[in-house]
């Protein structure tokens, strides 16, 4: 049963990366004279490439018998890269919102987003993360996600306030909140209850939902 789930997870990860890559390429190829679509394409490819650094080693790890212990290096480093690119993705998502929604002067919030992204990236680089160790400090993992959660809430608030202004993106705020609802329990409890890590699968589904909404730009 456990083996079957691991195979299912590997198939899901391949589909997730494949669908995200296709959407990113479509957005990039159709972005002529559409700057919002171009930024969306960059955001999607940033997310896809970043996630692949973690998911590809993960796929190899769960599908290859007697895999080398060196895979743990790539899993840890990939998780670090993914943590950074996720923050950049939300920065680009904020940028898209300011481009297509009838927002007023949001410079203060834009500066705040930049600061929070910078803090997130710096915290992800710090050695206290122990990315390459199996027993990394979970408390530090929680702290580095505080600015990330703040970024997500600010971006979700922007799309909530202007949810009626761009109907195709009207549920973007819902998708963002759902993704964090699946993600935060993993951050807090996955080291103690590993099965909670399965919440990353529906979290990835909400990301695909977000990427599909980008196609309406």
2 has pLDDT over 60? no
Question: What is the phi/psi pair of residue 155, to 5°?
Answer: -65, -40
Quick check: 129 and 136 in contact, CB under 8 A? Answer: yes
Q: Which residue segments constitute the domains of the chain, with CATH numbers given? A: 2-214 (1.20.1070.10)
Six-digit token string for 105: 């002067």
130 has pLDDT over 60? yes
pLDDT (tens digit per residue) in 140-169: 889 999 999 999 999 999 999 999 999 999
Q: Which of 72, 184, 177, 82 is nearest to 134 (CA)?
A: 72
Six-digit token string for 111: 């500066």
What is each CA distance from 60 to 13, 65, 66, 131, 197, in whole angstroms? 11, 9, 11, 18, 18
Quick check: 56 and 49 in contact, CB under 8 A? Answer: no
Whole-angstrom Cα distance, residue 169 to residue 185? 26
Q: What percent of the chain has pLDDT over 90?
A: 74
pLDDT (mean) for 161-182: 96
Residue 21 has a pLDDT of 97
Whole-angstrom Cα distance, residue 52 to residue 110? 28
Whole-angstrom Cα distance, residue 177 to residue 88? 17
Mean of the per-residue pLDDT values of the chain: 92
Whole-angstrom Cα distance, residue 38 to residue 58? 30
Residue 85 has a pLDDT of 97
pLDDT (tens digit per residue) in 60-101: 888 887 777 788 889 999 999 999 999 999 999 999 999 999
Whole-angstrom Cα distance, residue 121 to residue 81? 10
Residue 3 has a pLDDT of 60
pLDDT (tens digit per residue) in 95-125: 999 999 999 889 999 999 999 999 999 999 9
Residue 136 has a pLDDT of 66
pLDDT band at 7 (very low <50, low <70, confident <90, very high): confident
pTM: 0.94
């Amino acid at each position: 049963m456990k083996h079957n789930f691991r195979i299912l997870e590997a198939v899901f990860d391949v589909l997730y990366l494949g669908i995200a890559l296709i959407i990113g390429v479509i957005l990039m190829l159709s972005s002529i004279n559409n700057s919002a679509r171009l930024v969306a394409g960059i955001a999607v490819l940033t997310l896809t490439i970043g996630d692949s650094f973690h998911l590809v080693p993960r796929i190899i790890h769960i599908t290859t018998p007697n895999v080398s212990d060196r895979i743990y290096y790539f899993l840890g480093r990939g998780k670090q890269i993914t943590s950074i690119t996720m923050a950049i993705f939300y920065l680009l998502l904020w940028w898209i919102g300011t481009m297509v929604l009838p927002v007023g002067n949001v410079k203060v919030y834009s500066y705040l987003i930049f600061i929070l992204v910078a803090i997130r990236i710096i915290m992800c680089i710090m050695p206290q993360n122990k990315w390459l160790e199996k027993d990394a400090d979970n408390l530090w993992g929680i702290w580095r996600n505080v600015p990330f959660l703040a970024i997500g809430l600010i971006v979700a608030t922007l799309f909530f306030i202007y949810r009626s202004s761009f109907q195709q993106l009207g549920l973007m705020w819902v998708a963002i909140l759902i993704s964090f609802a699946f993600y935060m329990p993993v951050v807090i409890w996955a080291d103690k209850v590993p099965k909670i890590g399965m919440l990353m699968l529906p979290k990835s589904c909400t990301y695909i939902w977000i990427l599909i909404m980008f196609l309406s730009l």
